[in-house]
């Protein structure tokens, strides 16, 4: 047990399985009124909507109904010596040019037929994902400052390629997948400003100044942005609409899971090192806890989630049920051995306890009952992998994502 200081208070951080509290997980196959869910139809009609509504009301907050997007191509040209097309397109999230927008960077392999796509938000701006000088420098507020070429919370030329180790774009293109990325701060800047900036304000009801306790926080807003990106991708004939993948790392891994749960157009969902509020079971309180995350990042979840600080057992849902909301679509949970803050074992267990739902829906679920050895991809409908090393996204992670997608998604 380590003690980590936070805002002058000591919050105990559990890093020992023997210290974990005893808990009972809610059963994904028992409805709130006690009814056992024994058919795919009852899952679809009763339990799935019920779980979705509880995650909305108690964890991430409910997002508004979308408006129809509009878009404008900013640039288009060849990339990687002509192997791919690079397109940059501004997506207007409310359909209005005066409203919030996000700039999508799309690399499309040149292929005779529609290609699968990986949609993933980035942390540092589109230009950080590659040295490609054609990528437009964002003007948006940047989280980092005086690091990686960010000055006054604004990107400079120096920050080009700052995150490229996480984005092996040419390799992804060579494997036949398109990449669609956008800067998450375009959708909602990642700091607690009571939701005055970003997409929230554009959806307030008359007289509303902040989201209600059961309405969207930042994670839900980023997921909403991913869905608007899918609105755009669906309009593109070059994209295979049956093979649209969402991927995210860390807070954006929490986001990709919520995006996959709420938007079934995502045919496959990948979370990398998503941890607390992502794939890790909250009731374990291993590493980052609900209380700790709500203190550090009060804007990520809805205000109701604070009720579960040191009180996880009272929450009507736990994160294995978030994985279950993706069923029967393939989901890949990725952990890193040294990323104990994100609770790799808790991430694995969420997959394991989602398995009964996947089986009820006629899939192979998670093919193992114990955590696999390092670097060994469990390539069943619920996938799992843990690799050596730290909280990060690596080339080997991407190879595993695409091995998983190659097997789990077949073109029609
Ligand atoms: C940490 C946070 C994690 C994770 C991570 C990240 O500070 O505690 O939940 O989201 O940030 O997004 O990099």
- Label residue 261 exposed, middle or buried (CB < 10 Å: 0-12, 13-18, 19+): buried
Residues in the chain where the model's pLDDT stays below 50: 1-8
Residue 288 in contact with ligand 1 by CB distance below 6 A: yes
The packing angle between helices 251-262 and 48-55, to 10°, is 140
Give the ipTM: 0.96
- Any idea what DSSP says for residue 167? -
Residue 336 in contact with ligand 1 by CB distance below 6 A: no
Atom of ligand 1 nearest to the CA of 254: 10
Rounded CA Rg of the chain: 20
Rounded Cα gap, residues 130 and 169, in angstroms: 8
**Cβ–Cβ under 8 Å, residues 353 and 25:** yes
pLDDT digits (tens, 9 = 90+) for 264-284: 999 999 999 999 999 999 999
For a ligand 1 pocket test, name from 122, 166, 222, 251 the mutation site with the most ligand atoms within 8 angstroms of its C-beta.
251
Rounded Cα gap, residues 160 and 172, in angstroms: 19
Ligand 1 atom 12: residue of nearest CA: 251
Residue 121 in contact with ligand 1 by CB distance below 6 A: no
Rounded Cα gap, residues 405 and 330, in angstroms: 8
Rounded Cα gap, residues 224 and 230, in angstroms: 10
Please give the pLDDT value at position 412: 60
For a ligand 1 pocket test, name from 4, 275, 391 the mutation site with the most ligand atoms within 8 angstroms of its C-beta.
275
Please give the pLDDT value at position 5: 40
- Residue entry with tokens 């749960």: 261
Nearest to 54 by CA among 315, 372, 323: 315
What's the maximum distance between 2 C-alpha atoms anywhere in the chain? 60
403 CA from centroid of ligand 1 (Å): 26
**Cβ–Cβ under 8 Å, residues 153 and 168:** no
- The single residue of 250, 271, 274, 335 carrying the catalytic annotation is 250
């Amino acid at each position: 047990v380590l003690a980590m200081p936070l805002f002058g208070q000591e919050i105990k951080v559990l890093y020992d399985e023997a210290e974990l509290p005893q808990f009972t997980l809610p059963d994904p196959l028992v409805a709130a009124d006690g009814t056992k869910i024994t058919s795919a139809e009852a899952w679809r009609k009763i339990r799935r909507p019920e779980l979705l509504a509880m995650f909305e009301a108690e964890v991430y907050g409910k997002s508004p109904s979308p408006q129809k997007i509009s878009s404008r191509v900013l640039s288009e040209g060849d990339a990687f010596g002509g192997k791919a097309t690079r397109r940059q397109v501004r997506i207007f999230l409310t359909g209005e040019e005066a409203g919030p927008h996000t700039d999508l960077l799309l690399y499309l392999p040149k292929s005779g037929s529609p290609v699968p796509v990986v949609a993933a938000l980035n942390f540092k701006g589109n230009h950080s994902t590659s040295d490609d000088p054609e990528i437009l420098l964002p003007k948006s507020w940047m989280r980092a400052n005086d690091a990686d070429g960010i000055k006054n919370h604004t990107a400079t030329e120096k920050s080009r390629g700052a995150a490229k180790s996480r984005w092996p774009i040419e390799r992804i293109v060579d494997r036949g997948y398109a990449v669609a990325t956008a800067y998450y701060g375009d959708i909602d800047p990642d700091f607690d400003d009571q939701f005055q900036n970003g997409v929230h304000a554009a959806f307030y009801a008359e007289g509303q100044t902040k989201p209600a306790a059961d309405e969207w926080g930042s994670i839900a807003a980023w997921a909403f942005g991913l869905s608007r990106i899918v609105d755009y991708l669906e309009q593109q004939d070059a994209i295979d609409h049956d093979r649209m993948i969402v991927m995210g790392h860390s807070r954006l891994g929490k986001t990709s899971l919520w995006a996959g749960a709420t938007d079934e157009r995502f045919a496959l969902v990948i979370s990398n090192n998503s941890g607390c509020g992502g794939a890790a079971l909250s009731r374990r309180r291993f590493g980052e806890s609900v209380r700790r995350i709500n203190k550090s990042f009060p804007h990520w979840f809805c205000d109701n989630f604070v009720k579960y600080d040191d009180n996880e057992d009272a929450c009507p849902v736990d994160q294995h049920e978030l994985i279950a909301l993706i069923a029967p679509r393939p989901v890949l949970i990725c952990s890193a051995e040294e990323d104990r803050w994100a609770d790799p074992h808790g991430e694995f267990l969420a997959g394991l306890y989602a398995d009964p739902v996947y089986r009820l829906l006629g899939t192979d679920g998670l093919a193992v009952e114990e955590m696999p050895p390092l670097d060994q991809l469990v390539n069943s409908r619920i996938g799992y992998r843990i690799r050596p090393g730290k909280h990060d996204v690596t080339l080997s992670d991407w190879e595993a994502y695409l091995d998983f997608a190659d097997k789990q998604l077949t073109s029609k």
